[in-house]
């Protein structure tokens, strides 16, 4: 929500990522796109659900991000699930490579957004949750929701 105030338009979010992973750090990365992909993204026709990033030959690549083909393009449309290059500084890529190789972290995209006319990806350095961690998180959310509901009811009777 705070991003929309700063002139940033969120195009797609990966809600499942926060459920399946502990988010340690987030990074902003640019993405190399074709023309029809940009038009589809501006129409919010993207899905980050099963996507992930990996370092290959010193470059950061994004896999399984689905960008639907642009409706008004003819035969020059793009492949919806092609791998896409992410743009970050060399030292950041080297840092992420070390974390992923040694400490068992994953690179998961959290959201795609427009910032000053450019498409950006919010990339997270994440550690996977076990099933009991997920249950614990759900229980915490339920307890918090119950407390808020009770507080609202109490205020209504005051």
Question: What is each CA distance from 38 to 22, 46, 112, in whole angstroms?
Answer: 30, 10, 11
Residue 82 lies in a domain: yes
Residue-level pLDDT at 4: 52
- The answer to the question of residue 55 being in a domain is yes
Average pLDDT over every residue of 69-78: 74
Residues 6+ apart with CB under 8 A from 10: 3, 4, 111, 112, 113
Is there a domain that residue 145 lies in? no
Does 149 fall in a domain? no
Mode of pairing for the β-strands spanning 59-63 and 84-87: antiparallel
Q: Could you tell me the end-to-end alpha-carbon distance of the chain, in angstroms, rounded to an integer?
A: 31
84 close to 109: Cβ distance less than 8 angstroms? no
Residue 22 counted as domain residue: yes
The tally of domains found in the chain comes to 1
pLDDT value at 155 more than 80: no
Range(s) of the domain holding residue 120 = 2-129
Q: Which pLDDT tens digit goes with each residue over 32-70?
A: 888 788 888 888 888 888 888 888 888 889 898 888 887
pTM: 0.71
Instruction: Note whether residue 14 is domain-resident.
Output: yes
Tell me, what CATH number does 97's domain have?
Answer: 2.40.280.10
Residue 135's Cβ-side half-sphere holds a number of Cα atoms within 13 Å equal to 3
Shortest CA distance to 81 belongs to which of 100, 98, 62?
62
Instruction: Note whether residue 97 is domain-resident.
Output: yes
Structure token digits, residue 29:
């990365």
In a domain, 140, yes or no: no
Percent of residues in the chain assigned helix, strand, coil, to nearest 5: 35, 35, 25
């Amino acid at each position: 929500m705070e991003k929309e105030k700063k002139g940033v338009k969120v195009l797609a979010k990966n809600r499942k990522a926060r459920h399946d992973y502990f988010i340690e750090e987030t990074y902003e990365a640019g993405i190399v796109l074709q023309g029809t992909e940009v038009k589809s993204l501006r129409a919010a026709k993207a899905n980050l659900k099963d996507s992930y990033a990996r370092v290959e030959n010193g470059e950061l690549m994004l896999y399984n991000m689905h960008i639907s083909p642009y409706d008004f393009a003819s035969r020059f449309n793009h492949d919806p699930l092609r791998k896409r290059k992410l743009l970050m500084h060399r030292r950041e890529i080297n840092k992420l490579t070390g974390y992923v190789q040694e400490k068992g972290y994953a690179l998961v995209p959290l959201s795609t957004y427009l910032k000053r006319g450019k498409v950006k990806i919010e990339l997270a350095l994440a550690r996977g949750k076990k099933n009991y961690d997920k249950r614990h998180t759900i229980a915490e959310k339920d307890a918090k929701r119950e407390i808020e509901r009770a507080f609202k009811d109490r205020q209504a009777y005051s």
